[in-house]
Amino acid sequence: MTERNPAAEALPDRAYGSGSRARRRSVHSHKVTIGDIARHAGVSKTAVSFAFNKPGRLSAETTRHILDVARELGYTPNPVARSLNTRRTHALGVIVPQDIPTVLSNPFFAELMSGIGEVCKVEGMSLVIVPPMRGSLVEATYAALVDGCIVTGLSAEDKVVRALRMRRIPFVMLDADAPDDIASVQVDDSRGAYLAMKHVLDLGHRRIAIATFEPFTGRVEDYTGTLRHRFSGYQAALTEVGMLLCSPGIHVIECSCDVAGGQRAFQLLTKLRPQPTAVIALSDVIAFGVIAAAHCAGVRVPEDLSVVGFDDIEASHLLRPALTTVRQPTREKGRQAAEMFIQMLHAEGAAKPRHVMLPVELVVRESSARATR
């Protein structure tokens, strides 16, 4: 049973109505403080603090009266001071390794944020994007005014993860091979990549370009997380037809993860001899750029060049030709990560970290066809 503080809850003898009229006549030339509210409401400063931060310590009538007075006086709580009192910011941070314009240019991120946002809406939390600060993502991680984070695009060995451990706030990793003590949500990247490569191989393609967003060293084991799993999947499908990632007909092209990167990838593959008959892109937006550049160059998709993406973002089926791609449940991934974070936040460290693997599927559309050369 909640303990009451009679002194803190004491209300003025005058009727609320007359006090309200007096407050409306009062003109304040300074910023309203909790002392002003306490004086006009006839309660202690402690009671005012409880009304805003711990309303359960007061009766419903007293809390309502204090909040009504504060509203009439035009009081605006200081969010920083309030977070110091409650030790909560009611904000969830999403850590991203790129700058905000780059992040927002990728529709995949918008779908991911939509899933996270569904949970934040229910929980009454705000959503904060945390990009590098002055070039340092670690500095941004320490400075972020959030109750916890969802980490995207980083490995478990990254300095940012160590910084989050030092802050002792709950966090969930996306698309990373997290250790047992860090919660994570992944999709089956290896399976998705295998399906994409097997699809073009089954169509008879043997000259294939892979458009990736990091340099390929030639060794799958040099990578972690998403890239490692996807290249492992590509390799598994190639092995079934007696080929390898280093086979003469297979080329790995590095490009940025955006439409411009895909356009750059197309320009690079046109210089290869013999030219590839299929492109497998590590993201749909890269595939969009490849198709756009091919159209401008008079290269027909899929008659001259088959293109396969990864993500199945909403625009993929609207593209012409509609994109063949690997569908991952992007919104669901964001939603599950946010729900996992909320469980950890409420448990205050008592919850055991969970690891979730979500399925993928190949969606065959118009951008891929049987090899003719």
Domains of the chain: 6-86 (1.10.260.40), 91-187+330-358 (3.40.50.2300), 189-328 (3.40.50.2300)
What's the pTM?
Answer: 0.77
Secondary-structure percent of the chain, ordered helix, strand, coil, rounded to 5: 45, 15, 40
Cβ atoms of residues 130 and 152 within 8 Å: no
Letter for the amino acid at 183?
A: A
Instruction: Specify which residues 129 forms β-bridges with.
Output: 94
Rounded CA gap, 161 and 143, in Å?
14
Give per-residue pLDDT as tens, 78-89. Answer: 655 555 454 667
Rounded CA gap, 262 and 258, in Å?
7
- Which pLDDT value is given to residue 35? 85
Stretches where the chain sits below pLDDT 50 are 1-29, 84, 86
Cβ atoms of residues 99 and 153 within 8 Å: no
Give per-residue pLDDT as tens, 218-241. Answer: 777 777 788 899 999 999 999 999
Sheet holding 355-358, edge to edge: 126-130, 91-95, 148-151, 171-174, 183-187, 355-358
Rounded CA gap, 355 and 366, in Å?
35
- Which pLDDT value is given to residue 221? 76
Residue 358: how many other CB atoms lie within 10 Å: 14
- Which pLDDT value is given to residue 206? 96
Residue 229: how many other CB atoms lie within 10 Å: 23
